[in-house]
């Protein structure tokens, strides 16, 4: 396919980022571009786009891209930097969208037998995510398998990383309110101080990972927010904490809030305070089914791509919503830029990775459709 066009799409999307569930212009751009290839896109959800490309009998393979940007003020000096204050494509989803458009264009011009279904979903970055609503709207009806990728600016451009089994963690979140009584800071003996209790609770919660969890089981518990107090001489009546828990194992995932409750209850009781824990389960973990994953790995290797074993990461991905319904494989595509991490105001990708992404998906479509998918 035409590399210039691929870059034009990606740069247009980069300059016009939209936040999760607000991808109105992005969805319109995707629809228009798909129509220019002769496809007939639909909107299964308000800011999600689907297009079907069927040529002859055969299985149906879905390909997924996410389209949302982040609430970050871009600090690059790229000529196509974000034109929207405070919003930036800082995770590469502009690249994912451009790649999938490139695949749609390429496949619309060449013969194959079966169906390719293009899923452009909203809101990967914001729970409950766009994938679940796309699935509920029926985008997987008749689909035999689904593939997705994520650009990885921390790895060399063009390098594909894949693995069977757990790849990305379940990202749960929590809010804790610790209540004391508050009062004059000069008379701590007359009150219950929620700040002192919260400090102890934050430290004790570290022991969920270091003392309660099996060291061979991946687990993260991070307290990421503390809100409380507004004056030097006033102890506030309550403190709010927030944070995230990341895990792969469902049994462990159920135990963590119980351990947290026990710690919070013990510390609050010791000091006469009270607490409320609100634990929110996030996306399921991304787990690649071995059989299809090994087929994908073999096809990519045969086709001459540079492929290596991925390491699991504790970041979450709502691609798991598709995997919960049909066999689905997710992999990483190196897009090594100047070294800033994802979600950073100076995040950049190496754009030559986009062409590799298109070629990888096209190679997978050709072989998987020709060789058949399990439910045929």
How far apart CA 224 and CA 230 sit, in angstroms, is 19
Can residue 333 be called a binding residue for Ni ion (CB under 5 A)?
A: no
Q: Report in angstroms how near the CB of residue 10 gets to Ni ion at its nearest.
A: 15
Between 91 and 135, CB nearer to Ni ion:
91
Can residue 13 be called a binding residue for Ni ion (CB under 5 A)?
A: no
Please provide the size of the chain in residues: 376
Between 168 and 238, CB nearer to Ni ion:
168
128 phi, psi to nearest 5 deg: -80, 10
Can residue 34 be called a binding residue for Ni ion (CB under 5 A)?
A: no
Between 91 and 208, CB nearer to Ni ion:
91
- Among 6, 91, 167, 260, contact with Ni ion (rule: CB under 5 A): 91
Between 91 and 365, CB nearer to Ni ion:
91
Handedness of CA 345, 320, 47, 38 (dihedral sign): positive
Stretches 40-48, 91-99, 268-276, 297-305: which one binds Ni ion (CB under 5 A)? 91-99
Give how many residues touch Ni ion by CB under 5 A: 1
Q: Report in angstroms how near the CB of residue 91 gets to Ni ion at its nearest.
A: 3
Could you give the residue numbers annotated as active site?
Answer: 68, 124
What is the separation, in whole angstroms, between the first and last Cα of the chain? 30
Q: Which two tokens stand for residue 12?
A: 């247009």
Q: Report in angstroms how near the CB of residue 248 gets to Ni ion at its nearest.
A: 18
Stretches 69-77, 83-91, 185-193, 210-218: which one binds Ni ion (CB under 5 A)? 83-91
How far apart CA 277 and CA 198 sit, in angstroms, is 13
The CA angle 119-123-128, to the nearest 5 degrees, is 110
Q: Report in angstroms how near the CB of residue 125 gets to Ni ion at its nearest.
A: 7
Between 299 and 349, CB nearer to Ni ion:
349
Q: How many CA atoms lie within 13 A of 104 on its CB side?
A: 34
Stretches 89-97, 130-138, 223-231, 352-360: which one binds Ni ion (CB under 5 A)? 89-97
For residue 65, count other CB atoms closer than 10 A to its CB.
26
Q: Report in angstroms how near the CB of residue 57 gets to Ni ion at its nearest.
A: 35
Per-position b or e across 88-126, b if 16+ CB within 10 A of its CB: bbbbbbbbbbbbbbbbbbbbbeeebebbbbbbbbbbbbb
Would you tell me which residues interact with Ni ion (CB under 5 A)?
91
């Amino acid at each position: 396919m035409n590399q210039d066009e691929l870059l034009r799409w990606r740069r247009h999307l980069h300059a016009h980022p939209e936040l999760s569930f607000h991808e109105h212009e992005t969805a319109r751009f995707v629809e228009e571009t798909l129509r220019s290839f002769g496809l007939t896109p639909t909107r299964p959800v308000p800011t999600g786009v689907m297009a079907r490309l069927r040529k002859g009998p055969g299985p149906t393979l879905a390909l997924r891209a996410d389209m949302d940007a982040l609430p970050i003020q871009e600090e690059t000096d790229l000529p196509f930097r974000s034109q929207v204050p405070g919003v930036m494509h800082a995770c590469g989803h502009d690249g994912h969208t451009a790649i999938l458009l490139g695949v749609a264009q390429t496949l619309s011009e060449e013969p194959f037998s079966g169906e390719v279904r293009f899923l452009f979903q909203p809101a990967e970055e914001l729970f409950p995510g766009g994938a679940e609503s796309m699935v509920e709207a029926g985008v997987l009806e008749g689909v035999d398998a689904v593939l997705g990728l994520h650009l990885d600016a921390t790895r060399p451009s063009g390098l594909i990383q894949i693995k069977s089994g757990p790849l990305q963690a379940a990202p749960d979140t929590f809010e804790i309110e610790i209540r004391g009584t508050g009062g004059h800071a000069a008379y701590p003996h007359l009150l219950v101080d929620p700040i002192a209790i919260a400090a102890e609770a934050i430290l004790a919660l570290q022991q969920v990972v270091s003392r309660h969890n099996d060291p061979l089981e991946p687990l993260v518990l991070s307290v990421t927010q503390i809100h409380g107090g507004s004056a030097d001489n006033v102890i506030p009546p309550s403190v709010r904490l927030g944070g995230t828990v990341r895990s792969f194992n469902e049994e462990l995932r159920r135990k963590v809030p119980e351990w947290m409750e026990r710690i919070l209850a013990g510390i609050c009781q010791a000091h006469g305070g009270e607490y409320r824990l609100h634990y929110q389960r996030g996306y399921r973990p991304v787990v690649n089914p071995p059989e299809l994953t090994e087929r994908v790995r073999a096809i990519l290797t045969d086709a001459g791509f540079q492929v290596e074993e991925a390491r699991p990461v504790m970041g979450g991905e709502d691609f798991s919503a598709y995997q919960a319904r049909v066999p689905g494989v997710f992999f990483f595509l190196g897009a090594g830029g100047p070294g800033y991490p994802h979600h950073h105001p100076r995040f950049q990708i190496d754009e030559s990775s986009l062409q590799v992404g298109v070629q990888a998906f096209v190679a997978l479509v050709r072989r998987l459709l020709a060789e058949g998918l399990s439910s045929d």
